[in-house]
Structure 1
């Protein structure tokens, strides 16, 4: 189920950068328990990100579309802080 959740998160696009949150390196962890309750640990590019609600809602909406998912617990963390080295090579190529 972890793979299904991660695959779904590729569909969540950061509206400012136009790149999915997985390739941006914003997703730090995905845990799915035996009851299909999902806990996603992630960050944003900056603590004051003006579009944080859009991204959070996108994550919850997309994961909710996966059949069998029960609860979704989205944990925003600021440590470790995000920096461009967390991006995939694909994301880096898109920005530079």
Structure 2
């Protein structure tokens, strides 16, 4: 097992990169949608993004995965990217940021 690297500056850069990954169907980035559950980076520069999707069987899963990998690879110090899609805890609109809720007209 690789040792997890604790570097807040790199994680901040990764989050910023993920804010540039916009769901093409909703027009909101993955961070504000609340789809990103975790980011881990090992000493060797492997980043694992744990995320979910708004629905199972999402037709753009592979597109989002590629967009995430492309965005994160631009961060200095990142050598490899893994995207783990999980279904627990289930995503709900409550995970969205205020900005995403306003943009999407969600009033729940």
TM-score bucket of the superposed structures, by smaller chain: over 0.9
Determine the C-alpha separation between the residues in 2 that align with 1:51 and 1:38.
21
Determine the C-alpha separation between the residues in 2 that align with 1:51 and 1:72.
18
Give the alignment's Cα RMSD to 1 decimal: 0.8
Determine the C-alpha separation between the residues in 2 that align with 1:9 and 1:65.
11
Deviations 1:36-66 (A, max 9, x none): 2111100010011111111111000100111
Q: TM-score, normalised by structure 2?
A: 0.85
How far 1:33 moved relative to its partner? 2.0
Report the equivalent of 1:83: 92
Determine the C-alpha separation between the residues in 1 that align with 2:44 and 2:82.
13
Report the equivalent of 2:102: 93
Determine the C-alpha separation between the residues in 2 that align with 1:7 and 1:32.
15
Point out the structure with max Rg over C-alpha: 2
- Matched pairs, number: 96
Determine the C-alpha separation between the residues in 2 that align with 1:23 and 1:7.
11
Structure 1: stretches of 5+ with no match in the other structure? none
Structure 2: stretches of 5+ with no match in the other structure? 1-9
